């Protein structure tokens, strides 16, 4: 396998100096790319090539490179995190592409995710949504209630976990035709709605988080399901439905 000659690729990459500049697509040629490389390693090769030519390398967010930190944020060939399913860009491998392919690489697009440089976007809107209510209000205490004091049905705990696996990458927003953040917000709302610890302040949470989501300028959910398809962690649309329920309940009860 490794004896095969590598792939030749044409990259069409979004280049933008900073948030105030206009960006455009630049074309680069890459030769001899191994199919075992990850997509980001392929970009490393591109950057080494650019540096050796005295040019500015392509800036992109990345950190853990094992699909869990949620840093990488690229729209590859028309899809966030590229053509593979259930992976982030860092775990997308070049074996998903063919020799001679042209690959478009763009930043995640949303008005709430302004471009910082090239493929790097500012996703602090997500942080602000969590700050609005994505927590359980308990202070650190050396003698809080024993962890086993409240049994939680395994099915509920597992569902809460599934929702909690969201890595906050923003692929849901990037894929949604409306740049809606509903999957992200609903994942956090659901995690806490499913656990007794989170239910105490459930009403305030959903109202505050949805309010913040709207204020950040994200679009509206039209249930196309694109987010669920592209989510690297497979967060389910069920969470959005749960948030819709929680929201109504809260609106009705809240004075």
Partner 1 sequence: MQLDSKCPTGPIKDQWTDHKNKINVVNPANKRLIDVIVVGTGLAGGSAAASLAEMGYNVKSFCFQDSPRRAHSIAAQGGINAAKNYQNDGDSVYRLFYDTVKGGDYRARESNVYRLAEVSTNIIDQCVAQGVPFAREYGGLLDNRSFGGVLVSRTFYAKGQTGQQLLLGAYSAMSRQIGKGKIKMFNRHEMLELVVVDGKARGIIARNLVTGELQRHSAHAVVLATGGYGNVFFLSTNAMGSNVTASWRAHKKGAFFANPCYTQIHPTCIPRSGDYQSKLTLMSESLRNDGRIWVPKNIEDVEAIRKGKKKPTELSEEERDYYLERRYPSFGNLVPRDVASRAAKERCDAGYGVNETGEAVYLDFASAIERYGKEQATIEGNENSSKEEIIRLGEQVIENKYGNLFQMYEKITDDNPYKTPMKIYPAVHYTMGGLWVDYNLMTTVKGCYAAGEANFSDHGANRLGASALMQGLADGYFVLPYTIGDYLADDIRTGPIPTDSKEFDEAEKAVKTRLEMLISNKGTKSADYYHRKLGKIMWDKCGMARNEKELNEAIAEIKEIRQDFYKNIFVPGSTSEFNPELEKAARVEDFLELGELFAHDALHREESCGGHFRDESQTEEGEAKRDDDNYTYVAAWEHGVSPSDPILHKEELTFENIELKQRSYK
Partner 2 sequence: MSKSAILSSSIAKKWLMALTGLFLCLFLVGHLAGNLQLFIDGWEGTVMFNNYAEFMSSNPAIQTIAWITKVLIAVHAILALVLVVKNRRARGTKYTYNRPDKNASFSSRTMGWMGTLLLVFIVVHLINFWAPMHYDGNFPIQMSDEGYYTADGIAHAGSSLQMVNGKMHVFSGGVDSGRALRDLAQVTRDFFSPKENGTMALAMTILYVISMLAVAFHLAHGFSSAFQSLGINHKKYNGIIKLTGKLFALIVPVAFAAIPIYLYLTQV
Which residues in the 213-242 window bind partner 1 by CB under 8 A? Answer: none
DSSP 31: E
How far, in Å, CA of 236 to CA of 194, rounded?
14
Q: What is the H or E stretch that residue 192 is in? A: helix 182-193
213's contact among partner 1, partner 2, none, with CB below 5 to 8 A by partner kind, is partner 2
Which of 66, 111, 135, 138 binds partner 2 (CB under 8 A)? It is 111
Contact call for residue 10 and partner 2 (CB under 8 A): no
Contact call for residue 11 and partner 2 (CB under 8 A): no
What token pair was written down for 166? 């969201």
Contact call for residue 136 and partner 1 (CB under 8 A): yes
* Residues 149-188: x where in contact with partner 1 by CB under 8 A, - otherwise, as a string: --xxxx--xx-xx--xx-xx--------------------
b vs e for 185-200, b when ≥16 Cβ sit within 10 Å of the residue's Cβ?
bbbbbbbbbbbeebee
How far, in Å, CA of 232 to CA of 215, rounded?
26
Contact call for residue 19 and partner 2 (CB under 8 A): no
Which of 102, 124, 220, 223 binds partner 1 (CB under 8 A)? It is 124
- Least separation in angstroms between residue 48's CB and partner 2 is 25
- Least separation in angstroms between residue 193's CB and partner 1 is 10
Nearest to 184 by CA among 224, 130, 132: 130
Size of the site for partner 1 (CB under 8 A): 79
Contact call for residue 139 and partner 1 (CB under 8 A): yes
Q: Which stretch binds partner 1 (CB under 8 A): 171-179, 194-202, 214-222, 238-246?
A: 194-202
Contact call for residue 211 and partner 1 (CB under 8 A): no
Contact call for residue 34 and partner 2 (CB under 8 A): no
How far, in Å, CA of 159 to CA of 194, rounded?
7
Nearest to 132 by CA among 53, 210, 230: 210
211's contact among partner 1, partner 2, none, with CB below 5 to 8 A by partner kind, is partner 2
Which of 19, 196, 217, 234 binds partner 2 (CB under 8 A)? It is 217
How far, in Å, CA of 139 to CA of 148, rounded?
19
217's contact among partner 1, partner 2, none, with CB below 5 to 8 A by partner kind, is partner 2
CA atoms within 13 A on the CB side of 39: 29
Q: Closer to partner 1 at the Cβ: 85 or 222?
A: 85
* 103: region left, alpha or beta (phi > 0 left; psi from -120 to 50 alpha): beta
Are β-strands 120-121 and 115-117 bridged in parallel, bridged antiparallel, or unpaired? Answer: antiparallel
200's contact among partner 1, partner 2, none, with CB below 5 to 8 A by partner kind, is none
- Least separation in angstroms between residue 224's CB and partner 1 is 25
b vs e for 43-67, b when ≥16 Cβ sit within 10 Å of the residue's Cβ?
bbbbbeeeeeeeeeebbbbbeebeb
């Amino acid at each position: 396998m490794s004896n095969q000659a590598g792939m030749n690729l044409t990259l069409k990459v979004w280049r933008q100096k900073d948030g105030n500049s206009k960006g455009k697509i630049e074309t680069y040629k890459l030769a001899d790319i191994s199919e075992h490389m990850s997509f980001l390693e392929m970009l490393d090769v591109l950057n080494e090539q650019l540096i050796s030519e005295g040019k500015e390398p392509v800036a992109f967010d990345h950190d853990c490179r094992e699909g869990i930190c949620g840093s990488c944020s690229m729209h590859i060939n028309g899809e966030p995190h590229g053509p593979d399913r259930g992976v982030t860009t860092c775990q997308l491998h070049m074996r998903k592409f063919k020799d001679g392919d042209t690959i478009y690489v763009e930043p995640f697009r949303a008005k709430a995710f302004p471009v910082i440089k090239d493929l790097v976007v500012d996703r602090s809107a997500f942080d602000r949504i969590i700050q609005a209510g994505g927590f359980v209000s308990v202070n650190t205490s050396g003698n809080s209630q024993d962890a086993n004091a409240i049994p939680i049905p395994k099915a509920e705990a597992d569902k809460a976990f599934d929702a909690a696996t969201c890595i906050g990458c923003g692929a849901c927003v990037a894929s949604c035709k409306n740049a809606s953040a509903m999957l992200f917000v609903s994942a956090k709302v659901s995690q806490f709605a499913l656990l007794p610890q989170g239910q105490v302040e459930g009403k305030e949470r959903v109202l505050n988080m949805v309010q913040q989501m709207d204020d950040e300028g994200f679009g509206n959910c039209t249930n196309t399901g694109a987010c669920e398809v592209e989510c690297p962690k497979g967060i389910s649309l069920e969470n959005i439905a749960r948030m819709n329920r929680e929201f109504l309940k809260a609106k009705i009860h809240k004075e």
